[in-house]
């Protein structure tokens, strides 16, 4: 099926086995003082899973190039030795690996960071313009001499990469990092040989590419170029084209097309961004390259792709050479092998939540994955089969239960999964109805396919009883959560429903009041007001953000068809109400502003500071507002999103009864996820607990 994706190609001197690149991801493993073991295990699994080429997370070319304290620096602190081990692991699995040459510039989060002499870390940039997230750290403007030395640092780093054994290097010149900062009139206010007009602003990128190319003539050299900065007043399309015209004669082997700056207010990688949204920018770069005197330079598309069938659609016409995916390799290290085998049903799909990856990376915490809690912990939780297979029963088929069941089955245990509902997925099955979250269904589908493949028994519509479980060697209890019911006069009226009912069955036409504006309330409102059709949403996205959205892949993949029908009429007012805290509280830092912003764009009324919910009547929800006044919120329907509570569990005595019975019978057991603590439940914690529980059993 994936004829083009599967075809070998060359990238400069490299012969690569397929056209899938694992894009650069900063994991935090790069600085672990373990001789490179964890990093090697992480990369080895992805290379063994068939990816053609891996690009490392950014490796700083000097101390002051680091993005934060958890960035490795070439030649410092044992980084070269660690990467040598990682590179060898990739090579042993038949893959190739490029080192990303990185300089954060003003994007360094230097708070608490010291240089190798113990002094506070200097942050440098083309001009002394701080980044809001840098907590007041104003970068030092590089002198002209220092700019020249920074160019040399890039070349020295490339030589170091070669000595380590890397197959090539990728120069990071996108996403608003230093090279990109030099190019943009927003961040380069200089008036010397490195700035002052567009030609001089491009000079830094040109000199870096020239220096790196001549430093490593026998390696693949690529650049990660910004297809569009998505920053008002930044580099124009014509200037991007002009930069390419400058760079192409310098012997580049490839261009990987990035999009947006970290401080851009246009969403780029959140779940609400349509699949393949940024391909038009890669295609534009490719057209410039093909029309140039160097049409052989490879162009690699990236961002917001989760499925290699999309990759096939993208590469099919030959304009682009390869696709780079990043987060999907956290979700499934076997993404390539499974896809090339035609087993798309087995691919554990990245759901674009950012909760265990980007949201952690930006605060310097170790990166993992919500749907694959082993990600980044391959060494601690090895994949090898158990030597003592057991009967393992898992109670609950939500995210935590599925994570437990899949890991136990992979390790060779005899797994039985019990789900009281008629379908698997729990909260994920509900989330899949929310526009942009359709991939939640794909990860559930993948878990089911893997359990079936590995001979696990799955009982649906069947709550496990104590009797069912007494013969087990080990039980994981993950019955999950149920919507919290509000105690309010009128809460039992027929037009009042839980978010579960709303997402499952839809909401009839009319005005809607959503009680609770946390993550679920915000998602439920999006469900009410946004089209389930990704093609329609993509057009709206393009218009809202004034960007080009390619139609190539959107809506191609059947799993993205609308999960449920909605019948809200255009113009039906939706009001989201919240007592205290911010709307979307609980949604991760990189996604909350998008989740809330899309509601404001859609005309959803957001009413915060509600002092009290008073009563529900036909047609209205009565509240005491922030001024203490009683007021009616129009509501033909009321959807309650007031948090969650522990599911009562599979037995008449609930989880606690089951635990007592298992304890009395001496059956090993663990309670995980929302059943352990519904108040602070978060899916990352739940799946992680599930994995850890299985490994303890
Ligand atoms: Fe994808 Fe979420 Fe996993 Fe990040 S944590 S890789 S966004 S599924």
CATH code of 574's domain: 3.50.50.60
Residues 49 and 127 in one domain: yes
Q: Is the pLDDT of residue 286 over 50?
A: yes
Q: Which domain holds residue 650?
A: 391-482+646-696
Residue 100 falls inside a structural domain: yes
Q: Is the CB of 308 under 6 A from ligand 1?
A: no
Among 139-148, 267-276, 479-488, name the most confident range.
139-148
- Parallel/antiparallel/unpaired status of strands 20-22 and 605-607: unpaired
Residues 508 and 416 in one domain: no
The whole-angstrom separation of Cα 164 and Cα 84 is: 5
417 pairs with which residues across the strands? 394, 458
Å from CA of 347 to ligand 1 middle: 14
Quick one: angle between helices 399-410 and 683-696, nearest 10?
30
Residues 506 and 616 in one domain: yes
Interval 518-541: pLDDT, tens = 999 999 999 999 888 888 888 888
- ipTM reported for the complex, 2 dp: 1.00
Atom of ligand 1 nearest to the CA of 351: 8
Q: Is the CB of 431 under 6 A from ligand 1?
A: no
Specify the range with the lowest mean pLDDT, choosing from 227-231, 264-268, 573-577, 629-633. 264-268
Split into its structural domains, the chain has a count of 3
Q: Is the CB of 591 under 6 A from ligand 1?
A: no
Q: Is the CB of 351 under 6 A from ligand 1?
A: yes
- Say what the pLDDT of residue 652 is: 53
Specify the range with the lowest mean pLDDT, choosing from 131-135, 147-151, 388-392, 564-568. 564-568
Residues 187 and 233 in one domain: yes
Query: What residues act catalytically?
Result: 177
- Say what the pLDDT of residue 565 is: 55
* Backbone φ/ψ region at 354: left (φ over 0), alpha (ψ -120 to 50), beta: left
Helix (H, G, I), strand (E, B) or coil at 575: strand
Å from CA of 264 to ligand 1 middle: 21
CA 398 from centre of chain? 20
Atom 3 in ligand 1: residue holding the nearest Cα: 369
Interval 22-73: pLDDT, tens = 999 999 999 999 999 999 999 999 999 999 999 999 999 999 999 998 999 9
CA 197 from centre of chain? 36
Residues 15 and 158 in one domain: yes
Residue 83 falls inside a structural domain: yes
Provide the strand spans (E) within 103-232.
124-125, 140-141, 168-173, 220-226
Structure tokens at 67: 């993005």
Q: Is the CB of 354 under 6 A from ligand 1?
A: yes
Residue of 325, 327, 329, 348 with the most ligand 1 atoms within 8 Å of its CB, for mutation:
327
The whole-angstrom separation of Cα 417 and Cα 394 is: 5
Residues 169 and 220 in one domain: yes
Residue 98 falls inside a structural domain: yes
Q: Is the pLDDT of residue 202 over 80?
A: yes
Atom 2 in ligand 1: residue holding the nearest Cα: 353
Residue 55 phi, psi dihedral angles, 5° rounding: -105, 130
Residue 378 falls inside a structural domain: no
Degrees, nearest 5: CA angle 426-478-523: 30
- Say what the pLDDT of residue 261 is: 95
Query: Are 2 and 341 in contact, with CB atoms under 8 Å apart?
Result: no
More confident residue, 403 or 135: 403
The whole-angstrom separation of Cα 176 and Cα 199 is: 18
Residue of 369, 432, 444 with the most ligand 1 atoms within 8 Å of its CB, for mutation:
369
Sign of CA dihedral 366, 369, 370, 372: negative
The whole-angstrom separation of Cα 682 and Cα 189 is: 44
Atom of ligand 1 nearest to the CA of 368: 5
Q: Is the CB of 187 under 6 A from ligand 1?
A: no
Å from CA of 472 to ligand 1 middle: 33
The whole-angstrom separation of Cα 605 and Cα 413 is: 51
Degrees, nearest 5: CA angle 346-347-351: 135
Atom 8 in ligand 1: residue holding the nearest Cα: 350
Residues 234 and 262 in one domain: yes
Å from CA of 135 to ligand 1 middle: 27
Residues 458 and 514 in one domain: no
Q: Is the CB of 357 under 6 A from ligand 1?
A: yes
Residues 177 and 296 in one domain: yes
Residues 43 and 102 in one domain: yes
The whole-angstrom separation of Cα 578 and Cα 354 is: 24
Query: Are 85 and 40 in contact, with CB atoms under 8 Å apart?
Result: yes
Is-above-0.90 flag for pTM? yes
Atom of ligand 1 nearest to the CA of 352: 7
Residue 271 falls inside a structural domain: yes
- Say what the pLDDT of residue 537 is: 85
Atom of ligand 1 nearest to the CA of 357: 4
Q: Is the pLDDT of residue 118 over 90?
A: no
Residues 65 and 33 in one domain: yes
Provide the strand spans (E) within 96-154.
96-102, 124-125, 140-141
Query: Are 22 and 324 in contact, with CB atoms under 8 Å apart?
Result: yes
Residue 678 falls inside a structural domain: yes
Query: Are 152 and 212 in contact, with CB atoms under 8 Å apart?
Result: no
Å from CA of 304 to ligand 1 middle: 12
Å from CA of 333 to ligand 1 middle: 12
- Say what the pLDDT of residue 557 is: 45
Residues 546 and 430 in one domain: no
Dihedral Cα 380, 386, 391, 396, nearest 10 deg: 30
- Say what the pLDDT of residue 271 is: 87
Q: What percent of the chain has pLDDT over 70?
A: 96
Atom 1 in ligand 1: residue holding the nearest Cα: 350
Q: Is the pLDDT of residue 563 over 80?
A: no
Å from CA of 624 to ligand 1 middle: 39
- Say what the pLDDT of residue 558 is: 42
- Say what the pLDDT of residue 560 is: 47
- Say what the pLDDT of residue 482 is: 87
């Amino acid at each position: 099926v994936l004829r083009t994706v599967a075809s070998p190609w060359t990238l400069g001197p490299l012969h690569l086995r397929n056209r899938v690149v694992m894009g650069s991801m900063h994991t935090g493993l790069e600085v672990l003082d373990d001789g490179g073991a964890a990093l090697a295990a992480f990369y080895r699994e992805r290379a063994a899973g068939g990816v053609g080429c891996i690009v490392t997370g950014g490796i700083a070319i000097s101390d002051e190039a680091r993005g934060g304290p958890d960035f490795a620096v070439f030649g410092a602190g044992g980084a070269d030795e660690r990467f040598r081990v990682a590179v060898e692991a990739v090579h042993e699995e038949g893959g190739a690996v490029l080192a990303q040459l990185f300089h954060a510039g003003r994007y360094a989060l230097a708070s608490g960071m010291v240089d190798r002499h113990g002094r506070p870390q200097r942050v440098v940039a083309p001009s002394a313009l701080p980044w809001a997230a840098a907590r007041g750290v104003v970068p030092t403007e590089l002198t002209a001499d220092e700019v020249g030395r920074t160019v040399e640092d890039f070349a020295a780093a490339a030589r170091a990469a070669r000595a380590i054994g890397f197959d090539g290097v990728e120069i990071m010149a996108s996403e608003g990092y230093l090279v990109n900062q030099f190019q943009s009139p927003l961040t380069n206010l200089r008036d010397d040989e490195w700035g002052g007009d567009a030609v001089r602003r491009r000079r830094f990128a040109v000199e870096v590419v020239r220096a790196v190319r001549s430093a490593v003539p026998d390696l693949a050299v690529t650049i990660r170029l910004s297809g569009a900065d998505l920053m008002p007043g930044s580099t124009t399309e014509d200037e991007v084209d002009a930069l390419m015209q400058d760079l192409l004669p310098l012997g580049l082997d490839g261009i990987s097309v990035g999009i947006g700056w970290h401080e851009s207010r246009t969403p780029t990688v959140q779940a609400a961004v349509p699949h393949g949204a940024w391909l038009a920018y890669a295609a534009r770069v490719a057209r410039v390259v093909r029309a140039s005197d160097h049409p052989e330079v490879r162009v690699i598309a990236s961002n917001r792709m989760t499925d290699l069938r999309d990759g096939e659609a993208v590469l099919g016409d030959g304009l682009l050479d390869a696709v780079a995916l990043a987060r999907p390799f956290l979700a499934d290290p076997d993404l390539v092998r499974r896809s090339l085998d035609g087993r798309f049903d087995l691919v554990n799909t990245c759901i674009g939540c950012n909760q265990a990856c980007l949201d952690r990376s930006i605060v310097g915490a170790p990166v993992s994955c919500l749907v694959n809690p082993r990600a980044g912990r391959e060494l601690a939780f090895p994949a090898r089969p158990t030597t003592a297979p057991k009967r393992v029963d898992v109670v609950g088929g939500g995210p935590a239960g599925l994570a437990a069941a899949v890991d136990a089955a992979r390790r060779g245990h005899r797994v039985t999964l019990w789900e009281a509902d008629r379908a698997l997925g729990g909260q994920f099955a509900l989330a899949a109805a929310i526009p942009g979250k359709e991939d939640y269904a794909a990860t559930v589908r993948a878990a089911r396919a893997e359990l079936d493949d590995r001979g696990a028994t799955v009982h649906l519509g069947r709550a496990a009883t104590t009797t069912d479980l007494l013969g087990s060697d080990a039980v994981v209890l993950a019955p999950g959560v149920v919507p919290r019911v509000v105690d309010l006069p009128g809460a039992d009226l027929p037009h009042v429903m839980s978010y579960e009912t709303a997402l499952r069955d839809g909401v009839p036409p009319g005005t809607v009041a959503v009680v609770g504006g946390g993550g679920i309330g915000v998602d439920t409102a999006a469900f009410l007001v946004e089209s389930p059709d990704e093609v329609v949403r993509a057009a709206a996205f393009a218009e809202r953000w004034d960007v080009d959205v390619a139609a190539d892949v959107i809506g191609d993949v059947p799993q993205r068809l609308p999960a449920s029908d909605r019948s809200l009429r255009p113009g039906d007012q939706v009001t989201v109400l919240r007592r205290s805290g911010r709307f979307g509280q609980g949604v991760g830092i990189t996604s909350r502003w998008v989740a809330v912003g899309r509601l404001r764009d859609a005309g959803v009324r957001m009413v915060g500071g509600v002092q009290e919910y008073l009563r529900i009547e036909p047609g209205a929800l009565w509240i005491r507002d922030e001024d203490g006044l009683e007021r009616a919120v129009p509501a033909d329907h009321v959807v309650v999103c007031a948090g969650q509570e522990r599911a009562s569990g599979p037995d008449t005595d609930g989880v606690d009864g089951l635990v007592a019975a298992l304890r009395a019978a001496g059956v090993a057991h663990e309670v995980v996820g929302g059943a352990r603590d519904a108040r602070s439940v978060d899916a990352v914690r739940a799946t992680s607990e599930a994995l850890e529980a299985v490994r303890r059993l």
